[in-house]
Amino acid sequence: MLRIPAVVALLLAVSACSQEESAPPPPPQVSVANPLSRNVVDWDEYIGHFKAPQSVDLRARVSGQVSQILFRDGQDVQEGEPLFIIDPRPYKAVLDQSRAAVESAEATRQNAFSIEARSATLVATNTISREKLEADQTRLRTATAALNAAKAALEAAELNYDWTTVRAPISGRVSSRRVSIGDHVEAGKTLLTTVVSLDPIWFVFDASESFYLKYLRQARQGQRQLSRDFENPIDIRLSDETSFSHRGRMVFVDNAVDLESGTIQAHAVVDNHDQFLTPGMFGRARLVGSGSYSAMLVPDEAIITRQSLKEVLVLARDSTVTKRTVELGPEVLGLRAVRNGLASTDLVILDHITQLQLGMKVVPRRVAIEPRNADAGPRAPPVAAPEPFAATVADER
């Protein structure tokens, strides 16, 4: 009889354990926050290179022997600055001869003018014949023509003499000399050096036809002005930079799409007062690609990818999990822009995403979404500088 209570107690204990094991687990705790609401502008990214607006192949305009070189290779020069001297002595002799010819022609014409004037007076009194007057008038016209020819020859001689000093046609940076002192150069043929302008400088790139069509449609809808008609802003970074620190403005879009590449060429003008940017240098640019629009910003880790769909888990009013299908935009402030599908009042679930199911009860913990960086444009990974080839002790050089 004493064993029955023990059995009953054992059964009660087993039943209690079974009830404890079948009790549902407590709902998980998740962090939720309202998305950041910002007015944003999309940027399209391009790879291009810097180009000099003016690049001049400097050639001699007169033939002769190079007698002086007045610049250092790679030097910055100003427009009109002398760079080469071609032996001026033969051209100085021709110039002096031309001046003397002009003086002689002026004297001849002055004499012919005096004779013609005297003949005009005498013919009125019938002292000389009209044929004599006409002959004197012919000599005056001939002398005038000879004077004009002499003046033209003098002008050509002055030009040739002036061209013996080869000057910088533009302000910019000169390349290396292509001739040496003593070399004979031919007019219009011999390349002396090249000069490129540096401030401002162009950033040249090719845009695909799809981007060009997007810009055309945006302009038609009044969302964004065409770079052909408006100086849209463009930001540029160099290969060793992590931020888009160089500012420019669009000034040119070509008039046709290239049939072979399916691209259209464009360029922006960039201030280069310190002449740091160099023609031929490559860069990555971001061009304003849309008008301003309102977007919701959430962390990338809060977004679920299901094939082609992008979804965000949202807390319902009864503290259960629901979802929103969203349309994503670019990265802004280190967060992901959501164009459509989210409202500023939605509570986005930020963690334990893979452990949650739709309709599951959760315990929300309110937090705030903060910007992760101050740059509103695309981020770029840092580029390491190349290792040096060798090194020496500084005081041994």
Domain ranges of the chain: 29-39+294-366, 44-53+201-288, 59-87+164-196, 89-163
| Structure-token pair, residue 367 | 């937090």
| Structure-token pair, residue 165 | 């000093």
CATH domain 44-53+201-288 topology:
Elongation Factor Tu (Ef-tu); domain 3 (2.40.30)
CA distance 126 to 128: 5
* Backbone CA torsion sign across 309, 310, 316, 319: positive
> Which CATH number is associated with domain 59-87+164-196?
2.40.50.100
Specify the amino acid at residue 279: P
Whether 356 contacts 29, CB under 8 Å: no
- C-alpha to C-alpha distances, 116 to 103, 127, 136, 139, nearest whole angstrom: 20, 14, 5, 8
Cα-based angle 237, 241, 247 (whole degrees, multiple of 5): 30
> Treating both helix axes as pointing N-terminal to C-terminal, what angle do 89-124 and 130-163 enclose, rounded to 10 degrees?
160
Count other C-beta atoms under 10 Å from residue 48's C-beta.
21
Specify the amino acid at residue 10: L
pLDDT of residue 278: 93
pLDDT of residue 2: 44
CATH domain 29-39+294-366 topology:
2.40.420
- C-alpha to C-alpha distances, 14 to 61, 66, 173, nearest whole angstrom: 112, 113, 94
pLDDT of residue 42: 82
Question: What is the CA 26 to chain-centroid distance, rounded?
Answer: 59
| Structure-token pair, residue 179 | 């001739």
Whether 164 contacts 91, CB under 8 Å: yes
Instruction: Report, as ranges of residue numbers, the positions in the chain whose pLDDT lies below 70.
Output: 1-23, 374-397
What are the residues whose beta carbons fall under 8 Å from the beta carbon of 145, sequence distance 6 or more?
none
**Total-model pTM:** 0.71
Residue where the block lists tokens 């000399």:
177
Candidate CATH numbers 3.40.50, 3.30.60, 1.10.287, 1.10.10; the one for domain 89-163: 1.10.287
- C-alpha to C-alpha distances, 231 to 90, 201, 268, 359, nearest whole angstrom: 53, 15, 9, 51
Whether 226 contacts 251, CB under 8 Å: no
pLDDT of residue 397: 47
Please compute Rg for the chain using Cα positions.
Answer: 42
